[in-house]
Chains A and B, each alone.
Chain A
Amino acid sequence: DAGVIQSPRHEVTEMGQEVTLRCKPISGHDYLFWYRQTMMRGLELLIYFNNNVPIDDSGMPEDRFSAKMPNASFSTLKIQPSEPRDSAVYFCASSFPFRSTDTQYFGPGTRLTVL
């Protein structure tokens, strides 16, 4: 079975450019999570969706970041305009929880470098 799919795997862009990261969750999973990982701050939850509806976006750093989930099989995280401090690995994860102990399955991540 396919796991969580993310694209692109690597992105190098210049400051000020728009960046769009994409995620396809595991089929049947109704929770989708976006995380950012840096050496300094570790793994941080940015936003999560349930049944395509954003539930908690309190981790989104600022208005330059936005996330959408137009359907159950696709989500995007957009940064506009991008800044060098946005450089990080961005992970998407999905889960199908009956209870909070269910596992989150992570995608391979997108390594973003903003010059």
Chain B
Amino acid sequence: RKEVEQDPGPFNVPEGATVAFNCTYSNSASQSFFWYRQDCRKEPKLLMSVYSSGNEDGRFTAQLNRASQYISLLIRDSKLSDSATYLCVVNEGSGYALNFGKGTSLLVTP
């Protein structure tokens, strides 16, 4: 399978900080992009889809750059509850198989 690459971190940030994660993917035919969140010893859950025009959901903003095959996630005003691993996910372009990055670990401290 084609690769999805993320900086594993960990990113240690204080409450209220802004933090950004990046992800690159190798399959130029990829059509759909997502960020999933995984808490320690739990299952992954969809955080947000990533659209070509960029999208925002509260404190979270996702951006896609197809030319550079690059996805980003920005978290503003970090909360303690944001501590988790954030998985960059790319649809392979055919069928419904998802390709997951290994994740970026975030720890928000008081």
Contacts A106-B44, A108-B42, A109-B43 given; does A101 touch B100 at CB 8 Å: no
Number of A-B contacts (CB under 8 A): 47
Residue in A31, A44, A48, A100 with the greatest tally of chain B CB atoms within 10 Å = A100
Judge whether A100 and B91 touch: CB under 8 Å: yes
Judge whether A42 and B42 touch: CB under 8 Å: no
> How many positions in chain B have a CB within 8 Å of any CB in the partner chain?
20
> How many positions in chain A have a CB within 8 Å of any CB in the partner chain?
24
Contacts A43-B87, A100-B32, A106-B43 given; does A95 touch B49 at CB 8 Å: no
| C-alpha gap A70/B49 in the complex (Å) | 32
| C-alpha gap A46/B47 in the complex (Å) | 23
Judge whether A101 and B87 touch: CB under 8 Å: no
Taking the closest CB of chain B, its distance from the CB of A106, in whole angstroms, is 4
| C-alpha gap A103/B99 in the complex (Å) | 13
B57-90: CB near A (< 8 Å → 1, else 0) gives: 0000000000000000000000000000001000
Contact of A56 among B43, B91, B97 (CB under 8 A): B97
Taking CB atoms, residues of chain B closer than 8 Å to A43 are: 44, 87, 100, 102
| A50 to chain B: closest residue by CB | B96
| C-alpha gap A56/B96 in the complex (Å) | 10
| C-alpha gap A12/B32 in the complex (Å) | 37
Contacts A35-B100, A97-B96 given; 12 further ones with Cβ under 8 A? Answer: A33-B98, A41-B102, A42-B100, A44-B100, A45-B97, A45-B99, A48-B95, A55-B96, A91-B43, A91-B44, A100-B96, A107-B43
**Interface positions of B (Cβ within 8 A of A):** 1, 31-32, 42-46, 49, 87, 91, 95-103
Q: Give me 25 A-to-B residue pairs in the complex whose CB atoms sit less than 8 angstroms apart, sorted by A's number.
A: A31-B96, A33-B98, A35-B100, A42-B102, A42-B103, A43-B44, A44-B100, A45-B97, A45-B99, A48-B95, A55-B95, A55-B96, A56-B95, A59-B1, A91-B43, A91-B44, A95-B96, A100-B31, A100-B32, A100-B96, A101-B32, A101-B49, A106-B44, A107-B43, A108-B42
